């Protein structure tokens, strides 16, 4: 399975999964149809599936247009998003599986950004390969999604599921927010040497207009403050008494950053 990263709108990424042998493709969170149709044409592939992580317009905006062009494509989304995702046919729960070509994704229920948000995790297909996580607006490179419909407790529980995946997992998040996220991270965790190094790398990459997605989950675990709610140093910096309060304070500070 090859992953093509398609920039869309101002800072979204659409991910097109391609199985070259079967000449089929699936698309994760199609914000816009044009880049998807162009990529499908270049690859000579048929769209068989739309994998939505949540109902926001910048993630489902092209569902209808893509279905018009590929009427037999199957639209997947979270069970709790029923009625909010155009064309949705499959209503997924935690632990459900979605197959594409010779790969199978595991569904993780990760509410917090929205109450229905799901993530798709493709485990490595052999031991020396890496897994791929499509996590929408739950986990970002260097950050996490805003809490529009969920509580900090829910989000910490969701991020715990993602944090439990192997360090080698590629994190395909839906926005190019990394530089801004790391600016915030440095403002609270400035003595973190891994974070300083990452910030310099991301700054250089962005100055060359390079994408910073995917990142590696291991890097996120070391440098993303929103995966470090149990770090005692961060807890004392934000003057919190426990893990949920640490996360809540960090999220509140980021909302105002």
Marked catalytic residue, from 56, 81, 117, 132: 56
DSSP notation for 74-135: EEEEEGGGTTTSTT--EEE-TT-EEEETTEEEEEEE--SSSTT-EEEEE--SSTTS--EEEE
Q: Is 137 in the site for Zn ion (CB under 5 A)?
A: yes
Q: Is 29 in the site for Zn ion (CB under 5 A)?
A: no
CA distance 32 to 64: 10
Q: Which is nearer to Fe ion, 23 or 257 (CB)?
A: 257
Q: Which is nearer to Fe ion, 181 or 246 (CB)?
A: 181
CA distance 106 to 212: 24
Q: Is 117 in the site for Zn ion (CB under 5 A)?
A: no
Marked catalytic residue, from 18, 55, 117, 175: 175
Q: How far is the CB of 116 from Zn ion (least distance, A)?
A: 11
Sheet architecture: strand order including 132-136: 97-100, 103-109, 118-122, 132-136, 170-173, 215-216
Q: Is 137 in the site for Fe ion (CB under 5 A)?
A: yes
Marked catalytic residue, from 18, 19, 29, 54: 54
3-state secondary structure of 191: coil
Q: Is 58 in the site for Fe ion (CB under 5 A)?
A: yes
Place of tokens 């391609």: 18
Query: With CB under 5 A as the contact rule, which of the stretches 62-70, 71-79, 90-98, 131-139 interacts with Zn ion?
Result: 131-139
**Which sequence positions are flagged as catalytic?**
54, 56, 58-59, 113, 137, 175
Binding residues (CB under 5 A) for Zn ion: these are 56, 137
């Amino acid at each position: 399975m090859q992953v093509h990263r398609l920039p869309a709108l101002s800072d979204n990424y659409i991910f097109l999964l391609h199985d070259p042998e079967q000449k089929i493709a699936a698309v994760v969170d199609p914000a816009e149809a044009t880049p998807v149709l162009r990529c499908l044409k270049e690859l000579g592939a048929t769209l068989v599936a739309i994998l939505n992580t949540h109902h926001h317009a910048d993630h489902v905006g092209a569902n209808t247009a893509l279905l018009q062009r590929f009427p037999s494509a199957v639209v997947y989304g979270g069970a709790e998003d029923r009625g909010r995702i155009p064309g949705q046919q499959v209503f997924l729960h935690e632990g459900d599986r979605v197959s594409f070509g010779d790969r199978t994704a595991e569904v993780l229920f990760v509410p917090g950004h929205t109450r229905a948000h799901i993530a798709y995790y493709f485990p490595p297909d052999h031991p020396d390969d890496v897994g791929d996580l499509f996590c929408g607006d739950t986990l970002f490179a260097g950050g996490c999604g805003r809490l529009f419909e969920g509580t900090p407790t829910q989000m910490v529980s969701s991020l715990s599921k993602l944090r439990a995946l192997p360090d080698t997992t590629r994190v395909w998040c839906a926005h190019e927010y990394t530089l801004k996220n790391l600016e915030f991270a440095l403002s609270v965790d400035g003595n973190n040497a891994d974070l300083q190094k990452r910030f310099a790398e991301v700054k250089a990459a962005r100055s060359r207009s390079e994408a910073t997605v995917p990142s590696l989950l291991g890097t996120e675990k070391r440098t993303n403050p929103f995966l470090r709610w149990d770090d005692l140093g961060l807890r004392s910096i934000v003057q919190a008494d426990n893990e949920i309060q640490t996360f809540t304070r960090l999220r509140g500070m980021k909302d105002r950053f």
